[in-house]
């Protein structure tokens, strides 16, 4: 039985992005799909280089929110229910988040610019 080749389909340039794939004819798209659907022979693999490992680690890092100033810290604060309802109503009217309203209030109390 002849072994299946894992070689890139002949006559097709390596793809750089999705648009280059979409620009191909349906037949060439099918040939490329068969290439990726097949098993990968161990002889066609290699260990990752140090720079590839670094890129792999970076890709798995949690992105999260962008850091503003010194970053943020989650704190648990107990508020009276009525006060919290008023804060939430104020935030909705001004299209703000609850944390933004509380932050503005704390800055006013501390004498900082509330903007």
Query: Is 85 among the domain residues?
Result: no
pLDDT in tens, 22-38: 999 999 999 888 888 87
H helices of the chain, where? 18-22, 26-37, 50-60, 81-93, 98-109
Query: Is 99 among the domain residues?
Result: no
Comparing CA positions, the residue from 58, 39, 61 lying closest to residue 48 is 58
**pLDDT at residue 86 greater than cutoff 90:** yes
Average pLDDT, the chain: 85
Query: Is 96 among the domain residues?
Result: no
**pLDDT at residue 8 greater than cutoff 70:** yes
pLDDT recorded at residue 82: 96
Domains in the chain: how many in total? Answer: 1
**pLDDT at residue 63 greater than cutoff 90:** no
Q: What is the mean pLDDT of residues 18-22?
A: 90
Query: Is 43 among the domain residues?
Result: yes
**pLDDT at residue 1 greater than cutoff 50:** no
Query: Is 108 among the domain residues?
Result: no
Residue-number span of the structural domain to which 37 is assigned: 18-60
The more confidently predicted of residues 64 and 74 is 74
Query: Is 24 among the domain residues?
Result: yes
Query: Is 79 among the domain residues?
Result: no
Query: Is 91 among the domain residues?
Result: no
3 state DSSP class of 72:
coil
């Amino acid at each position: 039985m002849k072994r299946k080749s894992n070689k890139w389909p002949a006559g097709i340039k390596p793809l750089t992005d999705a648009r280059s794939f979409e620009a191909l004819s349906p037949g060439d798209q099918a040939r490329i799909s068969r290439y990726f659907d097949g098993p990968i022979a161990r002889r066609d693999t290699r260990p990752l280089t140090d720079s590839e490992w670094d890129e792999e680690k970076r890709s798995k890092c949690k992105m999260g929110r962008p850091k503003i100033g010194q970053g943020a810290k989650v704190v648990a604060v107990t508020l009276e229910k009525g006060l919290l309802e008023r804060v939430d109503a104020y935030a909705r009217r001004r299209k703000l988040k609850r944390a933004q309203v509380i932050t503005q209030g704390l800055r006013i109390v501390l004498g900082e610019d509330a903007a």
